[in-house]
Amino acid sequence: MDQRLFINLSPGGTYLDKLTGKTKVRLFFAIVILLIATWDMRIIFSALALSIIGLASLKAKLKSVKAIAVIVVLSNLLNLFLIWVIDPDYGASVCGGSTVLFQITSHYIITGQTMWYFLVRFCKLMATFFAAMTFIQCITPSELAAGLYAIKVPYKVCMIVSIAFRYIPDILRDFTNIKISMQARGMELDAKRTSLWQRLKQNVIILVPLVVTSFDRVGNIANAMDLRGFGKNKTRTYYAEHEDVKGDGQMKIFYIALYIFIAVVIALRIIAPGEYMVWYPFH
């Protein structure tokens, strides 16, 4: 099992890992734009399945992914619940019709259209989450910078993004080391013995100095880059960007097809907009 962190500093050996940065970035943007452009469950579910398969193929550290996934799921469910509290028949405006399944009070009802909208919205958010997790797990900061530069993002911005992502593992590692040393000196951070507020307070005490010292590191790097003439030329190359492999050609066909499909979906919505936003198969 490849015990990878969320931010990988060296590429792995899986199919997705071997792709170039520009292919990974273009493919990720294609999937995200597609999820933004559509409310069709058939498309969203396909994107969700592909994202889960992609993440599983990377042999990611599932314990860490699971922890974040639980937070995302709970946040989405709370968001949907609040929508229902404000407008129990919200599905009627986006799906059409109002088929009452359960009636709690005269105002609070559960309709098939609202439940379908909630399911589509939930799957859409989860598909975006798993696509983002797959993208983060298969790309390194240098590949990300090279990929962004390949889509005409200024290379100074690309470098800022690359350095920021490189610092995240360092901060997490230092945070863990300081936390362990503080516990060895008597700081109590056990969930069974300390309140949530106390644990948050102690973690903030550890984290704030780390963030402050990270600015000093950034300043040192900026000075070193200035001394080496960074930013003098209009273009640059990236050592992390290798020659295209067989998978790049296959993914290029795939993401070009996705972009064409996205253009068709958007054009159809402009030329012949439907009466309702969400595709509902049970009319």
Series of mean pLDDT values for 10-residue runs along the chain (283 residues): 58 86 93 93 94 85 75 93 92 86 88 93 94 90 87 84 77 81 75 76 80 74 76 75 86 94 88 77 78
Query: Residue 2: what pLDDT?
Result: 43
230: left (phi over 0), alpha (psi -120 to 50) or beta: beta
Name the amino acid, one letter, at 201: K
Rounded distance, CA 252 to CA 250, Å?
A: 5
Residues 142-164 as b/e (b if ≥16 CB within 10 A, e otherwise) read: bbbbbbbbbeeeebeebbeebbe
Number of H helices, E strands in the chain: 9, 2
pLDDT of residue 169: 74
- For the chain, the residue count is 283
Mean pLDDT of the chain: 84
Task: Compute the distance between CA of residue 13 and CA of residue 18 in angstroms, rounded to an integer.
Answer: 6
25: amino acid identity, one letter: V
**pTM for this predicted structure:** 0.81
3-state SS assignment for residue 139: coil
Which segments within 230-280 are labelled E, that is strand?
A: none
pLDDT of the residue at 62:
66
The predicted structure's pLDDT at residue 82: 94
Other Cβ atoms within 10 Å of 188 Cβ, number: 11
pLDDT (0 to 100) of residue 12: 77
Q: Identify the residue whose tokens are 């362990």.
A: 180
| Residues 188-242: tens digit of each pLDDT | 766 677 777 877 888 888 888 877 777 777 777 777 877 777 777 777 777 777 7
